[in-house]
Amino acid sequence: MREGAQLTQVEAGKRYEVFHTDCPARDMVDHVTSRWGIWVLISLRSNDLRFYELRDSIQGVSEKMLAQTLRALVQDGLVWREVEPTTPPQVTYGLSGFGREVSEPLTDLFDRITQRLPPRSQA
């Protein structure tokens, strides 16, 4: 069973007031650009991952912070969550279509930064 918020298109011409503190778009931007949100979206760009695979791919994130970040991204509709009814349950995460759209510029930014860095010196 997949979980995730369903987002609807805003009527033509109507925009969110992103500079107002109560704007839902502002909350989503905060989740995407949070310390761990960016890394989750980049980690899921290539394939779907189970919770422990995500945790292992993002060095330094605690299970608590990863769970909180995933919960927010699922609620925003950027990430989907699928639970297989096994013992113990297997939980898989992946990017929704909207999540792929949002993560593309982040991936481009990540790629540009890593390509421009000087080569690592061998110690």
Give per-residue pLDDT as tens, 75-102. 999 999 999 999 988 999 999 999 999 9
pLDDT tens track for 32-45: 988 999 999 999 99
Residue 96 structure tokens: 């929704």
Dist. CA 40–CA 26, nearest whole Å: 19
Alpha helices in 1-123 (DSSP H): 24-32, 37-43, 51-57, 63-75, 97-116
What pTM did the predictor assign? 0.79
- Longest Cα–Cα distance of the chain, Å, equals 57
